[in-house]
Amino acid sequence: MTPAAFHPLARLLHWLMAALILAMLFIGVNMVGDLSPRHPLLVELHKATGLALLVLVILRITLRLALPHPALPGDLPRLQRLAAGASHLLLYGLMLAMPLLGWAMLSAGGYPRPLQLPAIAPHDLQLYAVLRQAHGWAGYLLFATVLLHLGAALVHALVRRDGVLRSMWPGPLHRSE
């Protein structure tokens, strides 16, 4: 049976990760141009949060595959339906790719990794260059996709008024509808 809303655990994960991912994007883009004493603190925070997000996204993907989730409104045009599917795939892909790229890039750059994690790529300067740039560009793409996702959620809630945002709402759900 298709539920009207996401499972409470899925909603909790969604909003926790939303906050962490937005913070990570702002920290990441800020720290690379910063040379103040804040710089090393931001880098440490970025690595630790990235690792936490990797664990969370694996849990999240597992839940997404295991739990039933609400369907999109029946009257949604085909193109928007496709866009919703594609943008969610992209979001999941980027959420998984970002921490893995970060980990691989530290490995390829010959840098130590948090918690002494093993290297997942060989120490190679050219490979590092590819991964470092991929991490940066994937970050910009993730931010753009997050904006699109937020914009679409707000259109659903404020313009279409179709209950899509409500299905992911962090608070208790009203049963009146």
- Residue numbers at the binding site for another protein (CB under 8 A): 25-26, 29-30, 32-40, 43, 109-112, 116, 123-126, 128-130, 132-133, 143, 147, 150-151, 154-155, 158-163, 177
CB closer to another protein, 19 vs 150: 150
How far apart are CB 132 and another protein at their closest, in Å? 6
**What distance in Å separates the CA atoms of residue 11 and residue 5, rounded to the nearest whole number?**
9
**What distance in Å separates the CA atoms of residue 33 and residue 54, rounded to the nearest whole number?**
25
How far apart are CB 79 and another protein at their closest, in Å? 17
CB closer to another protein, 64 vs 149: 149
Give Cα 113 to chain centroid, integer Å: 21
SS3 of 140, please?
helix
How far apart are CB 44 and another protein at their closest, in Å? 9
Q: State both tokens at 162.
A: 């179709």
CB closer to another protein, 68 vs 110: 110
Contact call for residues 134 and 76 (beta carbons, < 8 A)? no
How far apart are CB 14 and another protein at their closest, in Å? 18
CB closer to another protein, 64 vs 109: 109
Q: What is the 3-state secondary structure (H, E, C) of 21-49?
A: HHHHHHHHHHHCCCCCCHHHHHHHHHHHH
How far apart are CB 162 and another protein at their closest, in Å? 7
Q: State both tokens at 16.
A: 């926790």
CB closer to another protein, 67 vs 150: 150
Q: Which amino acid is at 51?
A: L
Contact call for residues 95 and 112 (beta carbons, < 8 A)? no
